[in-house]
């Protein structure tokens, strides 16, 4: 049936790309798609305050990641709704998860497959930033110890903008309990190509604002 070949080629290529991206992300840490059992327990945390997102309605949309330019397109799309408990935890059926699984509440959104991390007891956690209207705010960046793969939490950090003669400006911040720092928006705009993180006990590291998942590994000295 030759008339269907263009459609098949268009669908297969995106599927290969999605699979490759998923493999790269799982190289760094386990994927929630690999969790055992019929359901997963996920704790939702506010990345700014490090507090649970408690008693909050959560919606999930999932599909197999295929994107087509012509119908029919079998994405196996599903929707699921739940609510977090007072500790921010939700039990989600594995059947609601797929290669692409986005979540949304009144104030938060995220990618459950890309952003969820395993924690003790076989559970998972996802750190979310509240959506804010208006001008872009600070750029969140999670600092990770390259040796232990743990967050560099509650640590004073200096963000330097450098030129050929050395630092031209510096901003002092501290990581929070989850290891996040907030890079001021003016640094993102004016010094994105020459910004560095300086943390005690670690080698200076150039900030790449194009990095995904808002994570940056620092190498101990």
Report pTM. 0.73
Query: What confidence score (pLDDT) does residue 99 get?
Result: 92
Q: How far apart are the C-alpha atoms of 59 and 99, rounded to whole Å?
A: 16
Which residue did the predictor score with more confidence, 201 or 130? 201
Residue pair 31/65 in contact (Cβ under 8 Å)? The answer is no
1-30 pLDDT tens trace: 444 444 344 444 444 433 333 333 334 568
Residue 144's pLDDT band, with cuts at 50, 70 and 90, is very high
DSSP per residue, 137-157: --EEEEEEETTT--B--S-EE
User: 2-10+31-128 architecture in CATH?
Assistant: Sandwich (2.60)
Query: What average pLDDT is seen over the chain?
Result: 82
Residue 68's pLDDT band, with cuts at 50, 70 and 90, is confident
Query: 181 φ, ψ to 5°?
Result: -115, 155
Residue 166's pLDDT band, with cuts at 50, 70 and 90, is low
Query: What confidence score (pLDDT) does residue 112 get?
Result: 92
Query: What confidence score (pLDDT) does residue 134 get?
Result: 57
Burial label for 23, CB within 10 Å (0-12, 13-18, 19+), is: exposed
Query: 53 φ, ψ to 5°?
Result: -90, 90
Would you kindly state where each structural domain of the chain is located, as residue ranges? Answer: 2-10+31-128, 139-218
Residue 71 has pLDDT above 90, yes or no: no
189-210 pLDDT tens trace: 776 678 899 999 999 999 887 6
Percent of the chain with pLDDT over 70: 81
Q: How far apart are the C-alpha atoms of 191 and 33, rounded to whole Å?
A: 38
Give which of 153, 161, 109, 166 is closest to 132, Cα–Cα: 109
Cis bond upstream, residue 42 (ω within 30): no
């Amino acid at each position: 049936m030759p008339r269907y070949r263009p459609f098949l080629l268009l669908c297969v290529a995106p599927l290969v790309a999605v699979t490759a991206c998923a493999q790269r992300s799982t190289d760094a840490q386990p994927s929630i798609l690999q969790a055992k059992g019929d359901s997963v327990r996920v704790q939702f945390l506010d990345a700014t305050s490090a507090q649970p997102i408690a008693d909050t309605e959560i919606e999930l949309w999932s599909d197999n990641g295929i994107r087509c330019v012509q119908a029919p397109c079998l994405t196996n799309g599903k929707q699921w709704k739940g609510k977090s408990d007072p500790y921010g935890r939700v039990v989600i059926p594995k059947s609601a998860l797929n290669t692409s699984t986005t979540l949304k509440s009144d104030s938060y959104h995220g990618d459950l497959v890309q952003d969820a991390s395993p924690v003790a007891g076989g559970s998972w956690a996802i750190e979310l930033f509240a959506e804010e209207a208006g001008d872009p705010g600070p750029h969140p960046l999670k600092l990770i110890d390259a040796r232990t793969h743990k967050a560099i939490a509650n640590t004073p950090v200096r963000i330097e903008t450098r030129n050929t003669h050395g630092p031209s400006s510096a901003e002092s911040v501290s990581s929070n309990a989850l290891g996040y720092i907030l890079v001021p928006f003016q640094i993102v705009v004016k010094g994105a190509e020459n910004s560095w993180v300086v943390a005690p006990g670690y080698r200076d590291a150039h900030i790449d604002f194009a990095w995904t998942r808002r994570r940056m590994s620092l190498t101990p000295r």
